[in-house]
Structure 1
């Protein structure tokens, strides 16, 4: 699936072997169904001088495979962890490719669900997961997540609450919000009650992304 640009020689990036192995596994999963995985890396993410990949950015699978699961899940892509190594693959480039792969796999999982259970059942499943997310989003500002401790930094609560308000508008009112605005959100650090525990926020946002990616078009 191509060669990622490297981090500087004195900077840490992702283990090249682990990244190559993971994306090779993804390629095999797609090829087993006669498809092509999402392009990784994109032209601006490849090493200097590397040829841009010909694979489609979103991945392709033949229509006959719509009801056949990939040997790879969106959850696996979302939770994969790579060891940090000096002069490894650039973190941002790999993360961007993982995002594309995650969305492509999630979309295929949606197609499989529709083929197997029907469109109505799939809509009900997405609605149920959205309702779980909304339970948290509907809490008052400052109370949506556990507070950070005084000794450890968390995400700025006000900034997280602002994004939660946008997410609620998206889910309840259909207001515009791009999945990358959620997945790529950055928050300042805060201690104590001015901050939320990072792990709790990350879990909720990951669930929101899953809903956004698998929701009906």
Structure 2
């Protein structure tokens, strides 16, 4: 029996062996049964990627499971940090990260991140700036936004666009803050 639904043999899905192996490691890490697996974090789960294979696991189902797993690890990390550092220190760290994000987003439109060369594709500046405006409203005005919106946002490609790695790092920081203050 499969852990997740399989795609048709002609369609791409995630490599079943690698997904199963990762989930086994994650379970050991969560249960605390393996010293090497114990270093697995919510951020590690967020950055996990699997190769695609024909007839593999449904990407939709695996991605949803990884998001739930990330939430579980983040909640445990949040509780451990609160216990170790105290509520005030923990909250101040989350607030500081949020302020760093806001400082970046306060830059002028079209200049919030480094741009790639005109011969290279990056993220569409207008798309990123539009989403950045929503993030500012989330942090400053408490406008509702779910962590899934940040996790799943996509931007069109653009020659000379924003450097993807910088935008992705900022989105990771936003996700960390959102998971920390749940």
> Does 1:205 find its partner at 2:145?
no
Match of 2:13?
Answer: 13
SS of corresponding position for 2:118: coil
Measured against aligned partners, the alpha-carbon deviations of 1:45-97 in whole angstroms (never above 9, x if no partner) come to: xxxxxxxxxxxxxxxxxxxxxxxxx5531121112222222222122221221
Match of 2:108?
Answer: 140
Decide which moves more: 3-12 or 101-110: 3-12
CA positional deviation for 1:188: 1.7
CA positional deviation for 1:128: 1.4
Match of 1:185?
Answer: 153
Decide which moves more: 107-116 or 10-19: 10-19
When normalised by structure 1's length, the TM-score is 0.75
Decide which moves more: 203-212 or 75-84: 75-84
Match of 1:55?
Answer: none
Unaligned runs of 5+ in 1: 34-69
Q: Which runs of 4+ in 1 moved over 6 A?
A: none
> Does 1:170 find its partner at 2:138?
yes
Give, in whole Å, the separation in 2 of the partners of 1:8 and 1:131.
46
Normalized per residue, which structure has more helix?
Answer: 2
Preserved CA contact (<8 Å) 2:101 2:170: yes
SS of corresponding position for 2:22: helix
Match of 2:27?
Answer: 27
When normalised by structure 2's length, the TM-score is 0.88
How many residue pairs end up in the alignment?
Answer: 177
SS of corresponding position for 1:207: helix
Give, in whole Å, the separation in 1 of the partners of 2:91 and 2:39.
24
Give, in whole Å, the separation in 2 of the partners of 1:135 and 1:204.
11
Match of 2:180?
Answer: 214
Decide which moves more: 113-122 or 179-188: 179-188
Preserved CA contact (<8 Å) 2:30 2:73: no
> Does 1:107 find its partner at 2:107?
no
Measured against aligned partners, the alpha-carbon deviations of 1:162-198 in whole angstroms (never above 9, x if no partner) come to: 1111111111221211111111112222112xx2222
Unaligned runs of 5+ in 2: none
Give, in whole Å, the separation in 1 of the partners of 2:140 and 2:41.
28
Give, in whole Å, the separation in 1 of the partners of 2:115 and 2:40.
35
